[in-house]
C-alpha cells in the first residue's frame, strides 16, 4: 500500500473519531468558555446504580470512595442536568441511541452514538440531551469521592 494511501486512511480515521463523540479540535476552548449551564433539572431520565465497590476495602485503599456503575435511560427529549467532573472522573458507554452533550469546554454540541465511550475528567462540566426520537441507554462508571453523597444520582 502506498504511503499516501496509508496517510489518507489514518487521517480519515482521526477525523471520524473527532466527529464521533469528541469536541472538534478547532471548537475546544477553556473550561467555562463553551456551552453554558442549563438551568433545568433532570427530565425523562432514570438513573439506577447497578453495581458498586467500596474502594477503601480494596488494595488501593481509597477510603470513603465508591467505584460504581450506573445505567441511565433517557427518553426522547430527556435531559441529564448540568454537572461537573472536577471531583469525579467517569466514563460513559453509549449502549443504544444517540445523545448530544453540551460541554463547558466546547463551543458546539458533541454527538455520541451507540458504541461510543465518552471520557469525563477534571475540567469537564456539561449536560446531555436526547434530541432524537428513540430512547438512549448509557452505562456510566465513575469514582465517587467522599464529599459527594454515595446515593446521589443525576451527576
| Ordered domains of the chain (ranges, CATH) | 3-144 (2.60.120.10)
Q: How far is CA 68 from the centre of its chain?
A: 15
pTM of the model: 0.79
Residue located via cell numbers 463553551: 34
**Residues 72, 97 contacting (CB under 8 angstroms):** no
Per-residue pLDDT of 96-123, as tens digits, reads 999 999 999 999 999 999 999 999 988 8
Nearest one of 96, 118, 92 to 105, comparing CA atoms: 118
Is the confidence at residue 6, as pLDDT, over 80?
no
Q: Locate all alpha helices (DSSP H) within the chain, ordered by sequence.
A: 3-19
pLDDT bracket for residue 64 (50, 70, 90)? confident
pLDDT at 151: 55
3-class SS at 19?
Answer: helix
Per-residue pLDDT of 117-154, as tens digits, reads 999 988 889 999 999 999 999 999 999 888 876 555 65
3-class SS at 70?
Answer: strand
Cβ-count burial of 78 within 10 angstroms (0-12 exposed, 13-18 middle, 19+ buried)? Answer: buried
pLDDT at 123: 85
Average the pLDDT over 40-65 and give the result. Answer: 90
Is the confidence at residue 43, as pLDDT, over 80?
yes
Cβ-count burial of 141 within 10 angstroms (0-12 exposed, 13-18 middle, 19+ buried)? Answer: middle
Amino acid at each position: 500500500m502506498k504511503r499516501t494511501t496509508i496517510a489518507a486512511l489514518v487521517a480519515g480515521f482521526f477525523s471520524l473519531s473527532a466527529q464521533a463523540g469528541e469536541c472538534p479540535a478547532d471548537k475546544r476552548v477553556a473550561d467555562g468558555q463553551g456551552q453554558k449551564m442549563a438551568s433545568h433539572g433532570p427530565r425523562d431520565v432514570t438513573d439506577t446504580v447497578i453495581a458498586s465497590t467500596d474502594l477503601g476495602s480494596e488494595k488501593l485503599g481509597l477510603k470513603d470512595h465508591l467505584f460504581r456503575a450506573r445505567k441511565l435511560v433517557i427518553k426522547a427529549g430527556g435531559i441529564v442536568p448540568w454537572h461537573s467532573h472536577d471531583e469525579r472522573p467517569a466514563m460513559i458507554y453509549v449502549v443504544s441511541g444517540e445523545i448530544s452533550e453540551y460541554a463547558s469546554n466546547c463551543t458546539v454540541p458533541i454527538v455520541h452514538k451507540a458504541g461510543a465511550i465518552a471520557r469525563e475528567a477534571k475540567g469537564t462540566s456539561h449536560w446531555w440531551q436526547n434530541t432524537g426520537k428513540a430512547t438512549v441507554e448509557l452505562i456510566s462508571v465513575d469514582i465517587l469521592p467522599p464529599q459527594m453523597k454515595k446515593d446521589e444520582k443525576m451527576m
